[in-house]
Amino acid sequence: PVNSGRDVDVLVIGGGQAGLAAGFYLNRLRRDEASGRSGPAPTFAILDANAEPGGAWQHYWNSLELFSPAAYSSLPGYQMPAWQGEGNPSADHVANYLRTYESRYDLPVHRPVRVEAVRMGEGGGYIVDTDHGRWTSRVVINATGSWNTPDIPRLPGSDGFTGQQLHTAGYRGPESYAGRNVVVVGGGNSGAQIAADLVPTAHVTWVTRTPPRYLPDDVDGRALFDIATRRVKALAAGEPGTGGVASLGDIVAVPAVRKARDAGLLDARPMFARLLPGGVQEEDGGKLDADVIIWCTGFRPDLQHLQPLGLTLRNGVPATDAQLPAQSVDSPGLFFLGYGDWCGPASATLIGVGATARDSVAAAAGMPVR
Protein backbone atom coordinates (compact mmCIF):
# COMPACT_ATOMS: atom_id res chain seq x y z
CA PRO A 1 0.00 0.00 0.00
CA VAL A 2 1.04 3.55 -0.72
CA ASN A 3 0.27 4.87 2.73
CA SER A 4 1.19 2.90 5.75
CA GLY A 5 -0.80 5.20 8.03
CA ARG A 6 -4.49 5.77 8.08
CA ASP A 7 -4.32 9.50 7.57
CA VAL A 8 -4.49 10.43 3.90
CA ASP A 9 -5.27 13.52 1.88
CA VAL A 10 -8.01 11.86 -0.14
CA LEU A 11 -10.07 8.89 0.96
CA VAL A 12 -12.19 7.21 -1.69
CA ILE A 13 -15.08 5.17 -0.28
CA GLY A 14 -16.05 2.37 -2.67
CA GLY A 15 -13.86 0.44 -5.10
CA GLY A 16 -16.28 -0.09 -7.99
CA GLN A 17 -15.89 1.58 -11.36
CA ALA A 18 -16.44 5.09 -9.95
CA GLY A 19 -13.92 4.70 -7.13
CA LEU A 20 -11.35 3.28 -9.53
CA ALA A 21 -11.84 6.18 -11.95
CA ALA A 22 -10.99 8.56 -9.08
CA GLY A 23 -8.03 6.30 -8.23
CA PHE A 24 -6.78 6.55 -11.81
CA TYR A 25 -6.47 10.34 -11.63
CA LEU A 26 -5.04 10.29 -8.12
CA ASN A 27 -2.48 7.82 -9.41
CA ARG A 28 -1.68 10.16 -12.29
CA LEU A 29 -0.79 12.91 -9.82
CA ARG A 30 1.41 10.43 -7.97
CA ARG A 31 3.16 9.54 -11.23
CA ASP A 32 3.62 13.21 -12.15
CA GLU A 33 5.19 13.87 -8.78
CA ALA A 34 7.55 10.90 -9.18
CA SER A 35 8.69 12.14 -12.58
CA GLY A 36 9.19 15.68 -11.29
CA ARG A 37 6.42 17.07 -13.50
CA SER A 38 4.40 18.39 -10.59
CA GLY A 39 4.57 19.16 -6.90
CA PRO A 40 3.63 16.78 -4.11
CA ALA A 41 0.65 14.61 -5.00
CA PRO A 42 -2.08 13.95 -2.45
CA THR A 43 -1.79 10.69 -0.57
CA PHE A 44 -4.86 8.50 -1.01
CA ALA A 45 -6.51 5.20 -0.29
CA ILE A 46 -9.63 3.41 -1.54
CA LEU A 47 -11.78 1.49 0.94
CA ASP A 48 -14.10 -1.16 -0.49
CA ALA A 49 -16.64 -3.28 1.35
CA ASN A 50 -16.59 -6.10 -1.21
CA ALA A 51 -14.15 -8.94 -0.68
CA GLU A 52 -13.34 -9.04 -4.41
CA PRO A 53 -12.75 -6.39 -7.10
CA GLY A 54 -15.50 -5.47 -9.57
CA GLY A 55 -18.02 -3.45 -7.53
CA ALA A 56 -21.64 -4.30 -8.33
CA TRP A 57 -20.66 -6.17 -11.50
CA GLN A 58 -19.56 -9.22 -9.51
CA HIS A 59 -23.15 -9.59 -8.20
CA TYR A 60 -25.12 -9.23 -11.45
CA TRP A 61 -26.95 -12.12 -13.08
CA ASN A 62 -25.18 -14.25 -15.66
CA SER A 63 -27.08 -13.16 -18.74
CA LEU A 64 -26.73 -9.44 -18.05
CA GLU A 65 -25.35 -7.70 -21.05
CA LEU A 66 -23.84 -4.24 -21.24
CA PHE A 67 -25.70 -1.42 -23.01
CA SER A 68 -22.77 -0.90 -25.35
CA PRO A 69 -19.78 -2.61 -26.91
CA ALA A 70 -16.47 -2.88 -25.03
CA ALA A 71 -15.01 0.00 -27.03
CA TYR A 72 -17.57 2.36 -25.45
CA SER A 73 -17.47 0.93 -21.95
CA SER A 74 -14.04 1.90 -20.72
CA LEU A 75 -12.72 3.80 -17.77
CA PRO A 76 -9.96 6.37 -18.37
CA GLY A 77 -6.56 5.15 -19.48
CA TYR A 78 -7.10 1.52 -20.26
CA GLN A 79 -9.51 0.23 -22.89
CA MET A 80 -11.80 -2.66 -21.96
CA PRO A 81 -10.54 -5.74 -23.84
CA ALA A 82 -12.70 -6.78 -26.80
CA TRP A 83 -15.55 -9.18 -26.03
CA GLN A 84 -15.37 -12.43 -27.98
CA GLY A 85 -18.94 -13.61 -27.35
CA GLU A 86 -22.22 -12.61 -28.96
CA GLY A 87 -23.76 -9.18 -28.33
CA ASN A 88 -22.20 -6.87 -25.77
CA PRO A 89 -19.84 -7.83 -22.92
CA SER A 90 -21.14 -9.77 -19.89
CA ALA A 91 -21.02 -8.63 -16.27
CA ASP A 92 -18.12 -11.03 -15.60
CA HIS A 93 -16.16 -9.44 -18.40
CA VAL A 94 -16.57 -6.06 -16.69
CA ALA A 95 -15.67 -7.43 -13.26
CA ASN A 96 -12.49 -8.96 -14.73
CA TYR A 97 -11.70 -5.69 -16.47
CA LEU A 98 -12.01 -3.81 -13.17
CA ARG A 99 -9.80 -6.38 -11.43
CA THR A 100 -7.10 -5.88 -14.07
CA TYR A 101 -7.60 -2.11 -13.97
CA GLU A 102 -6.82 -1.75 -10.30
CA SER A 103 -3.73 -3.92 -10.47
CA ARG A 104 -2.51 -2.26 -13.67
CA TYR A 105 -2.49 1.13 -11.91
CA ASP A 106 -1.42 -0.30 -8.57
CA LEU A 107 -4.37 1.33 -6.86
CA PRO A 108 -4.24 1.19 -3.05
CA VAL A 109 -7.56 -0.59 -2.51
CA HIS A 110 -8.17 -1.92 1.00
CA ARG A 111 -10.83 -4.64 1.22
CA PRO A 112 -13.00 -5.81 2.67
CA VAL A 113 -13.37 -2.56 4.63
CA ARG A 114 -16.85 -1.13 5.22
CA VAL A 115 -17.19 2.53 6.15
CA GLU A 116 -19.75 2.92 8.89
CA ALA A 117 -19.74 6.66 9.60
CA VAL A 118 -18.14 9.83 8.27
CA ARG A 119 -18.04 12.94 10.44
CA MET A 120 -16.23 16.27 10.44
CA GLY A 121 -12.99 16.43 12.37
CA GLU A 122 -12.48 19.28 14.84
CA GLY A 123 -9.75 20.96 12.82
CA GLY A 124 -11.46 20.36 9.46
CA GLY A 125 -11.17 17.22 7.41
CA TYR A 126 -13.06 14.01 7.97
CA ILE A 127 -13.04 11.20 10.50
CA VAL A 128 -14.01 7.96 8.83
CA ASP A 129 -14.94 5.01 11.02
CA THR A 130 -14.89 1.57 9.43
CA ASP A 131 -15.35 -2.02 10.54
CA HIS A 132 -11.54 -2.18 10.46
CA GLY A 133 -10.71 0.93 12.44
CA ARG A 134 -10.55 4.68 11.91
CA TRP A 135 -9.18 6.67 8.98
CA THR A 136 -8.82 10.44 8.64
CA SER A 137 -8.63 12.55 5.50
CA ARG A 138 -8.85 16.06 4.12
CA VAL A 139 -11.17 14.99 1.30
CA VAL A 140 -13.74 12.20 0.97
CA ILE A 141 -14.84 10.92 -2.43
CA ASN A 142 -17.97 8.82 -2.06
CA ALA A 143 -18.35 6.12 -4.67
CA THR A 144 -20.44 3.55 -2.84
CA GLY A 145 -22.95 2.90 -5.64
CA SER A 146 -26.48 1.79 -4.89
CA TRP A 147 -26.38 -1.99 -5.07
CA ASN A 148 -26.72 -2.36 -1.30
CA THR A 149 -29.83 -0.18 -1.02
CA PRO A 150 -32.60 -1.72 -3.11
CA ASP A 151 -35.90 0.11 -3.26
CA ILE A 152 -39.04 -2.02 -2.86
CA PRO A 153 -42.44 -0.32 -2.70
CA ARG A 154 -44.78 -1.35 0.12
CA LEU A 155 -48.10 -2.53 -1.24
CA PRO A 156 -51.23 -3.69 0.54
CA GLY A 157 -51.10 -7.40 1.19
CA SER A 158 -47.28 -7.64 1.08
CA ASP A 159 -47.08 -9.61 4.29
CA GLY A 160 -49.73 -12.14 3.25
CA PHE A 161 -48.05 -13.17 -0.02
CA THR A 162 -47.08 -16.83 0.27
CA GLY A 163 -44.70 -17.06 -2.67
CA GLN A 164 -41.12 -15.91 -3.04
CA GLN A 165 -40.21 -12.23 -3.34
CA LEU A 166 -36.88 -10.87 -4.40
CA HIS A 167 -35.35 -7.67 -5.72
CA THR A 168 -33.17 -7.26 -8.83
CA ALA A 169 -30.22 -7.44 -6.45
CA GLY A 170 -31.11 -11.05 -5.59
CA TYR A 171 -31.63 -12.29 -9.17
CA ARG A 172 -28.95 -14.66 -10.47
CA GLY A 173 -30.52 -16.21 -13.58
CA PRO A 174 -33.58 -18.05 -14.91
CA GLU A 175 -32.63 -21.56 -13.71
CA SER A 176 -34.64 -21.71 -10.50
CA TYR A 177 -37.80 -20.20 -12.05
CA ALA A 178 -38.44 -22.69 -14.88
CA GLY A 179 -42.15 -23.49 -15.23
CA ARG A 180 -43.15 -21.09 -12.43
CA ASN A 181 -45.49 -18.11 -12.52
CA VAL A 182 -43.24 -15.11 -12.18
CA VAL A 183 -44.40 -11.50 -11.96
CA VAL A 184 -41.63 -9.08 -12.88
CA VAL A 185 -42.30 -5.55 -11.65
CA GLY A 186 -40.63 -2.49 -13.16
CA GLY A 187 -40.40 -0.66 -16.46
CA GLY A 188 -36.69 0.14 -16.42
CA ASN A 189 -33.67 -1.70 -17.78
CA SER A 190 -33.50 -4.32 -15.03
CA GLY A 191 -37.20 -5.18 -15.39
CA ALA A 192 -36.99 -5.48 -19.16
CA GLN A 193 -33.75 -7.49 -19.08
CA ILE A 194 -34.93 -9.87 -16.37
CA ALA A 195 -38.34 -10.37 -18.02
CA ALA A 196 -36.57 -11.10 -21.32
CA ASP A 197 -34.24 -13.49 -19.53
CA LEU A 198 -37.16 -15.44 -18.04
CA VAL A 199 -39.66 -15.64 -20.91
CA PRO A 200 -38.09 -18.70 -22.55
CA THR A 201 -38.54 -20.88 -19.44
CA ALA A 202 -40.99 -19.33 -16.97
CA HIS A 203 -44.59 -18.05 -17.19
CA VAL A 204 -43.79 -14.37 -17.02
CA THR A 205 -46.11 -11.45 -16.42
CA TRP A 206 -44.30 -8.17 -16.78
CA VAL A 207 -45.91 -5.31 -14.87
CA THR A 208 -45.04 -1.62 -15.24
CA ARG A 209 -46.52 1.54 -13.75
CA THR A 210 -46.60 3.26 -17.14
CA PRO A 211 -46.35 1.59 -20.57
CA PRO A 212 -42.72 0.59 -21.32
CA ARG A 213 -40.76 3.21 -23.24
CA TYR A 214 -37.93 1.79 -25.33
CA LEU A 215 -35.11 4.01 -26.44
CA PRO A 216 -34.59 3.93 -30.21
CA ASP A 217 -32.82 0.67 -31.09
CA ASP A 218 -29.65 2.46 -32.19
CA VAL A 219 -29.20 4.29 -28.86
CA ASP A 220 -26.46 2.66 -26.82
CA GLY A 221 -24.26 3.73 -23.92
CA ARG A 222 -22.28 6.19 -26.03
CA ALA A 223 -25.40 8.05 -27.11
CA LEU A 224 -26.69 8.03 -23.52
CA PHE A 225 -23.46 9.68 -22.41
CA ASP A 226 -23.75 12.40 -25.06
CA ILE A 227 -27.35 13.11 -24.16
CA ALA A 228 -26.63 13.24 -20.43
CA THR A 229 -23.63 15.52 -21.00
CA ARG A 230 -25.67 17.97 -23.06
CA ARG A 231 -28.32 18.10 -20.37
CA VAL A 232 -25.93 18.74 -17.48
CA LYS A 233 -24.06 21.41 -19.49
CA ALA A 234 -27.33 23.16 -20.33
CA LEU A 235 -28.42 23.15 -16.70
CA ALA A 236 -25.01 24.42 -15.53
CA ALA A 237 -25.25 27.27 -18.07
CA GLY A 238 -28.64 28.21 -16.64
CA GLU A 239 -30.44 27.07 -19.80
CA PRO A 240 -33.60 25.02 -19.75
CA GLY A 241 -32.96 21.28 -19.34
CA THR A 242 -32.99 19.27 -22.54
CA GLY A 243 -34.99 16.52 -20.87
CA GLY A 244 -31.96 14.24 -21.02
CA VAL A 245 -32.12 10.51 -21.59
CA ALA A 246 -35.47 10.23 -19.81
CA SER A 247 -37.13 12.25 -22.56
CA LEU A 248 -36.21 9.52 -25.06
CA GLY A 249 -37.25 6.45 -23.11
CA ASP A 250 -36.35 4.26 -20.18
CA ILE A 251 -35.21 0.99 -21.69
CA VAL A 252 -32.11 0.39 -23.77
CA ALA A 253 -33.07 -2.15 -26.43
CA VAL A 254 -30.12 -4.52 -25.90
CA PRO A 255 -30.30 -7.53 -28.25
CA ALA A 256 -31.97 -9.93 -25.78
CA VAL A 257 -34.68 -7.38 -24.93
CA ARG A 258 -35.21 -6.49 -28.57
CA LYS A 259 -35.57 -10.16 -29.48
CA ALA A 260 -38.18 -10.87 -26.80
CA ARG A 261 -40.02 -7.63 -27.54
CA ASP A 262 -40.12 -8.28 -31.29
CA ALA A 263 -41.40 -11.82 -30.66
CA GLY A 264 -44.32 -10.28 -28.74
CA LEU A 265 -43.18 -11.78 -25.43
CA LEU A 266 -42.77 -8.51 -23.56
CA ASP A 267 -46.30 -7.14 -23.40
CA ALA A 268 -46.49 -5.30 -20.10
CA ARG A 269 -49.59 -5.11 -17.92
CA PRO A 270 -50.45 -2.16 -15.66
CA MET A 271 -49.19 -2.22 -12.09
CA PHE A 272 -51.34 -4.34 -9.78
CA ALA A 273 -53.19 -2.99 -6.75
CA ARG A 274 -52.29 -5.44 -3.97
CA LEU A 275 -50.67 -8.75 -3.17
CA LEU A 276 -52.76 -11.81 -2.40
CA PRO A 277 -51.57 -15.05 -0.79
CA GLY A 278 -50.84 -16.82 -4.10
CA GLY A 279 -50.72 -13.95 -6.52
CA VAL A 280 -51.58 -10.33 -7.14
CA GLN A 281 -54.82 -8.47 -7.64
CA GLU A 282 -55.10 -6.14 -10.59
CA GLU A 283 -56.84 -2.76 -10.50
CA ASP A 284 -59.94 -4.22 -12.15
CA GLY A 285 -60.16 -6.91 -9.46
CA GLY A 286 -58.77 -9.75 -11.61
CA LYS A 287 -56.24 -12.13 -10.07
CA LEU A 288 -52.89 -13.17 -11.50
CA ASP A 289 -51.25 -16.26 -10.07
CA ALA A 290 -47.73 -15.66 -8.86
CA ASP A 291 -45.24 -18.07 -7.34
CA VAL A 292 -42.54 -15.44 -7.47
CA ILE A 293 -42.48 -11.64 -7.58
CA ILE A 294 -39.27 -10.00 -8.75
CA TRP A 295 -39.14 -6.32 -7.80
CA CYS A 296 -37.06 -4.50 -10.40
CA THR A 297 -37.91 -1.23 -8.76
CA GLY A 298 -34.54 0.40 -8.53
CA PHE A 299 -31.97 1.41 -5.98
CA ARG A 300 -31.19 4.41 -3.82
CA PRO A 301 -27.68 5.86 -3.40
CA ASP A 302 -25.92 4.04 -0.57
CA LEU A 303 -25.12 7.01 1.66
CA GLN A 304 -26.12 5.93 5.17
CA HIS A 305 -22.55 6.37 6.38
CA LEU A 306 -22.84 10.13 5.68
CA GLN A 307 -25.75 10.65 8.02
CA PRO A 308 -23.62 12.27 10.77
CA LEU A 309 -22.77 15.08 8.33
CA GLY A 310 -26.42 16.22 8.18
CA LEU A 311 -26.23 17.04 4.47
CA THR A 312 -28.79 19.24 2.74
CA LEU A 313 -30.93 17.16 0.40
CA ARG A 314 -32.28 18.30 -2.95
CA ASN A 315 -34.75 16.02 -4.74
CA GLY A 316 -33.85 13.32 -2.23
CA VAL A 317 -30.09 13.38 -2.91
CA PRO A 318 -27.31 15.51 -1.40
CA ALA A 319 -27.26 19.04 -2.83
CA THR A 320 -24.26 19.56 -5.12
CA ASP A 321 -22.59 22.41 -6.96
CA ALA A 322 -23.98 23.51 -10.36
CA GLN A 323 -20.51 23.86 -11.92
CA LEU A 324 -19.00 20.72 -10.41
CA PRO A 325 -22.01 18.50 -9.71
CA ALA A 326 -19.90 15.96 -7.81
CA GLN A 327 -19.05 18.48 -5.09
CA SER A 328 -21.21 18.86 -2.00
CA VAL A 329 -22.58 22.33 -1.33
CA ASP A 330 -22.38 21.70 2.41
CA SER A 331 -18.83 20.52 2.58
CA PRO A 332 -16.38 21.37 -0.22
CA GLY A 333 -14.12 18.43 0.69
CA LEU A 334 -16.91 15.97 -0.03
CA PHE A 335 -17.55 14.50 -3.50
CA PHE A 336 -20.04 12.04 -5.01
CA LEU A 337 -19.17 9.83 -7.93
CA GLY A 338 -21.12 7.19 -9.81
CA TYR A 339 -24.67 7.51 -8.50
CA GLY A 340 -26.43 9.18 -11.39
CA ASP A 341 -26.66 12.30 -13.48
CA TRP A 342 -27.24 14.44 -10.40
CA CYS A 343 -23.54 14.08 -9.54
CA GLY A 344 -22.08 14.31 -13.06
CA PRO A 345 -23.07 13.59 -16.66
CA ALA A 346 -23.57 9.82 -17.03
CA SER A 347 -21.71 9.39 -13.76
CA ALA A 348 -23.31 5.96 -13.29
CA THR A 349 -21.67 4.59 -16.44
CA LEU A 350 -18.22 3.27 -17.25
CA ILE A 351 -17.80 5.68 -20.13
CA GLY A 352 -19.17 8.67 -18.26
CA VAL A 353 -17.65 8.63 -14.80
CA GLY A 354 -14.08 9.46 -15.87
CA ALA A 355 -14.70 13.12 -16.74
CA THR A 356 -16.28 13.94 -13.39
CA ALA A 357 -13.68 11.86 -11.56
CA ARG A 358 -10.94 13.97 -13.17
CA ASP A 359 -12.63 17.26 -12.28
CA SER A 360 -13.23 16.07 -8.72
CA VAL A 361 -9.64 14.95 -8.21
CA ALA A 362 -8.39 18.27 -9.61
CA ALA A 363 -10.63 20.18 -7.20
CA ALA A 364 -9.65 17.91 -4.31
CA ALA A 365 -5.93 18.22 -5.02
CA GLY A 366 -6.04 21.91 -5.92
CA MET A 367 -3.96 21.21 -9.02
CA PRO A 368 -4.71 20.46 -12.66
CA VAL A 369 -4.96 16.81 -13.65
CA ARG A 370 -3.88 15.79 -17.13
Q: What is the longest distance spanned by two Cα atoms in the chain?
A: 73
Residue 296 CB-half CA count within 13 A? 26
Cis peptide before 112 (omega within 30 of 0): yes
DSSP summary character for residue 251: B
What three-state secondary structure class fits 268?
Answer: strand
Please state the closest distance from residue 337 (CB atom) to ligand FAD, in A: 7
The footprint of ligand FAD on residues 70-99 (CB under 6 A) is 73
Sign of dihedral through CA atoms 247, 339, 168, 68? positive
Of 287, 318, 215, 225, give the one whose Cα is nearest residue 258. Answer: 215
Residue 186 binds ligand FAD (CB under 6 A):
no
Q: Which is nearer to ligand FAD, 14 or 42 (CB)?
A: 14
Question: By CB under 6 A, which span of 37-45, 242-250, 321-329, 343-351 interacts with ligand FAD?
Answer: 343-351
Beta carbon nearer to ligand FAD, 137 or 349: 349
Residues 215-234 that bind ligand FAD (CB under 6 A): 221
CB of 252 to ligand FAD, least distance (A): 8
Q: Which is nearer to ligand FAD, 6 or 274 (CB)?
A: 6
Tell me phi and psi for residue 44, to 5 degrees.
Answer: -155, 165
Provide the 10 A C-beta neighbour count for residue 136. 14
Is 68 buried (19+), middle (13-18) or exposed (0-12) by CB count in 10 A? buried
Q: How many positions of this chain bind ligand FAD (CB under 6 A)?
A: 36
Tell me the closest approach of the beta carbon of residue 189 to ligand FAD, in angstroms.
5
Task: Name the one range near ligand FAD by CB under 6 A: 8-16, 157-165, 172-180, 234-242.
Answer: 8-16
250 phi, psi to nearest 5 deg: -115, -25
Considering the rule CB under 6 A, would residue 279 count as an interface residue with ligand FAD?
Answer: no
- What's the one-letter identity of residue 11? L
Contact flag: residue 338 with ligand FAD (CB under 6 A): yes
**Termini Cα distance of the chain:** 24
d(CA 164, CA 161): 8
Per DSSP, the residues of 48-87 read -SSSSSSGGGGGS-TT-B-SS-GGGS--SSSPPPPP-SSS
Which range, of 25-33, 55-63, 195-203, 242-250, touches ligand FAD by CB under 6 A?
A: 55-63
Handedness of CA 209, 215, 217, 220 (dihedral sign): negative
360 near ligand FAD, rule: CB under 6 A: no
User: Closer CB to ligand FAD, residue 132 or residue 274?
Assistant: 132
Is 357 a residue that touches ligand FAD (CB under 6 A)? Answer: no
Among 11, 12, 75, 115, binds ligand FAD (CB under 6 A): 115
Choose between 190 and 356: whose C-beta lies nearer to ligand FAD: 190
Q: How far is the CB of 358 from ligand FAD (least distance, A)?
A: 15
Of 12, 15, 128, 354, the residue at the interface with ligand FAD (CB under 6 A) is 15
Piece of the chain touching ligand FAD by CB under 6 A; list 12-20, 30-38, 157-165, 306-314: 12-20
Q: Taking contact as CB under 6 A, which single stretch among the options 1-9, 11-19, 132-140, 355-363 is the one that binds ligand FAD?
A: 11-19
Decide: 45 and 110 in contact? Cβ < 8 Å: yes
Sites of contact with ligand FAD (CB under 6 A): 13-19, 47-50, 55-57, 64, 66-68, 73, 114-115, 143-145, 147-148, 189-190, 193, 221, 302, 305, 338, 348-350
